[in-house]
Amino acid sequence: MRLLHFNSNGDPSLTSNLVKNVPPYAILSHTWGSDEEEVKLQELSKGIGKDKPGYAKIVNCGKQAALDGLVHWWVDTCCIDKTSDSELSEAINSMYKWYHYAEVCYVFLSDTGSYETVDRSRWFTRGWTLQELLAPKFMVFYTQDWERIDTRGNLSPTIQRVTGIPPRILARDFSRECSIAQVMSWAAKRETTREEDMAYCLLSLLGINMPLLYGEGARAFERLQLEFMRTSTDHSLFSWKSPNDERGPRERGPLAVNPVEFVACQQVRLLERIHSRDFLMTNRGLRMRLPLIEVQDGALAAVLDCMGDDDRRLAIFLKEVHPKVYHRIRCSEVLTIDDTVSIPAPKSIYLGSAAPQTYRYLFDVDFSGVMGRGFNLEKHHNPDGFYRWTLEERRHGRFKLELVDSGAYGGALFGNTMTGEHFVAILGVHNWKVWLDVTEIEPHESFEDVVEEYYHFRERHDPEKENCRCGKPWDGFKILQRTLAKGSVGKVVLSVNRHNDDNDDNNSDSDSDDDGDINGENTINKDDDDVGSSSQTLFFGQFNVKIVVE
In a domain, 67, yes or no: yes
Q: How many Cβ atoms sit within 10 Å of the Cβ of residue 103?
A: 18
What pLDDT was estimated at residue 505? 44
Provide, rounded to the nearest whole percent, the portion of the chain with pLDDT above 70. Answer: 80
In a domain, 95, yes or no: yes
Full-model pTM: 0.69
Taking the C-alpha atoms of residue 301 and residue 292, their distance in angstroms, rounded to an integer, is 6
- Name the domain count of the chain: 3
In a domain, 187, yes or no: no
Claim to verify: residue 365 and residue 509 sit in the same structural domain:
yes
Claim to verify: residue 418 and residue 532 sit in the same structural domain:
yes
Claim to verify: residue 313 and residue 380 sit in the same structural domain:
no
The set of residues, in sequence order, having a beta carbon less than 8 Å from that of 146 and lying 6+ positions away, is 60, 64, 108
Residue 263: band (very low, low, confident or very high) from pLDDT cuts 50, 70, 90: very high
What pLDDT was estimated at residue 320? 93
Domain termination site, one of 128, 158, 177: 177
What pLDDT was estimated at residue 523? 42
Tens of pLDDT, residue by residue over 176-204, are: 678 999 999 999 999 999 999 999 999 99
Claim to verify: residue 345 and residue 392 sit in the same structural domain:
no
Residue type, 461: H
In a domain, 322, yes or no: yes
CA dihedral 446, 449, 451, 455 (to 10 degrees): -150
Instruction: Please report which helix (H) or strand (E) contains residue 375, including its range.
Output: strand 375-381
Q: How many Cβ atoms sit within 10 Å of the Cβ of residue 45?
A: 14
What pLDDT was estimated at residue 302? 97
User: How does the average pLDDT of the chain come out, rounded?
Assistant: 84
Task: Return the closest-CA partner of residue 380 out of 419, 415, 421.
Answer: 415
Bridge-partner residues for 28, per DSSP? Answer: 106
Buried b / exposed e along 5-37 (16+ C-beta atoms within 10 A): bbeeeeebbeeeeeeeeeeebbbbbbbeeeeee
Tens of pLDDT, residue by residue over 112-121, are: 999 999 999 9
Tens of pLDDT, residue by residue over 477-496, are: 555 555 555 555 667 888 88
Rounded to 5°, the CA angle 521-523-529 comes to: 165
Claim to verify: residue 27 and residue 128 sit in the same structural domain:
yes
Residue 456: band (very low, low, confident or very high) from pLDDT cuts 50, 70, 90: very low
Taking the C-alpha atoms of residue 226 and residue 219, their distance in angstroms, rounded to an integer, is 10
In a domain, 223, yes or no: no
Strand 313-322 with 335-337, pairing: antiparallel
The set of residues, in sequence order, having a beta carbon less than 8 Å from that of 488 and lying 6+ positions away, is none
pLDDT over threshold 80, residue 468:
no
Q: Phi/psi at 148 (nearest 5 deg)?
A: -65, 130
Q: What is the CATH number of the domain that holds 533?
A: 2.60.270.20
What pLDDT was estimated at residue 118? 97
Domain termination site, one of 157, 177, 197: 177
In a domain, 97, yes or no: yes
Residue 509: band (very low, low, confident or very high) from pLDDT cuts 50, 70, 90: very low
Taking the C-alpha atoms of residue 520 and residue 546, their distance in angstroms, rounded to an integer, is 9
Claim to verify: residue 474 and residue 424 sit in the same structural domain:
yes
Claim to verify: residue 162 and residue 278 sit in the same structural domain:
no
Claim to verify: residue 19 and residue 136 sit in the same structural domain:
yes
Residue 40: band (very low, low, confident or very high) from pLDDT cuts 50, 70, 90: very high
What pLDDT was estimated at residue 497? 84
Q: Which domain holds residue 476?
A: 361-549
Residue 29: band (very low, low, confident or very high) from pLDDT cuts 50, 70, 90: very high
Claim to verify: residue 20 and residue 137 sit in the same structural domain:
yes
What pLDDT was estimated at residue 355? 61
Starting at the earlier edge strand, list the strands of the sheet with 4-6.
12-14, 4-6, 72-74, 25-29, 104-108, 139-142, 148-151
Domain termination site, one of 162, 177, 192: 177
Residue 441: band (very low, low, confident or very high) from pLDDT cuts 50, 70, 90: confident
Claim to verify: residue 299 and residue 401 sit in the same structural domain:
no
Claim to verify: residue 341 and residue 407 sit in the same structural domain:
no
